[in-house]
Amino acid sequence: MIEDPSFPITRKALDLAGITVTPVPVDAEGLDVASGVRSAQDAALAIVTSGQHAPLGMTMSLTRRLVLLAWARRSHAWIIDDNYMSELQLTGRAAPALASLDHGGRVLHIGGFSKTISPVLRLGFVVTPIELTGRFGDVCACLAPAPALALQGAVA
């Protein structure tokens, strides 16, 4: 499942990876989880921008967050929560990360520093459930070299 509309590059990456994508509508509360479950009954993954929807800008409601997490636990599915721009709230306080509500270890929280520091860094992060950190670390080490130590220290 992926939000409709969604960030075009995310959708393209899934298509290039050969992953069947089911677009799921969003409304003022974010991803319409019930619609997604009906249209993608065998889904094993949902990709959302819960903190600030890309491109519409709304924050996923607490009710929808809880329904999405319950679906993931029940279905043994994964949620990738793209923290796209959630750190840049124009009004009020940013909503807590979806992963902070996840008691089943189903959320992979991804983000970067292009909005808060600089896009020149080309530096991002993945926060995974503890049992996946070793595997993700191994995969990342094979895909790209670690950023320079000075850069890591500056971001830390």
| Whole-number pLDDT of residue 29 | 96
**Model's pTM, two decimal places?**
0.89
Q: DSSP assignment of 85-128, as one string? A: TTT--SSSPPPPPGGGG-SSS-EEEEEESTTTT-GGG--EEEE-
CA 145 to chain CA centroid, nearest Å: 23
Is residue 154 scored above 90 in pLDDT? no
Does the pLDDT of residue 21 top 90, yes or no?
yes
Instruction: Give the pair of three-digit tokens for residue 2.
Output: 């992926």
CA 42/CA 99 separation, integer angstroms: 22
pLDDT digits over 126-142, tens only? 999 999 999 998 998 88
Q: What span, in angstroms and rounded, lies between the C-alpha atoms of 146 and 156?
A: 14
* CA–CA separation, 115 and 130 (whole Å): 27
* Per-residue tokens: 51: 């903190």
Q: What is the mean pLDDT of residues 67-71?
A: 97
Supply the mean pLDDT for the chain: 89
Residue 3: pLDDT band by 50, 70, 90 thresholds?
Answer: very high
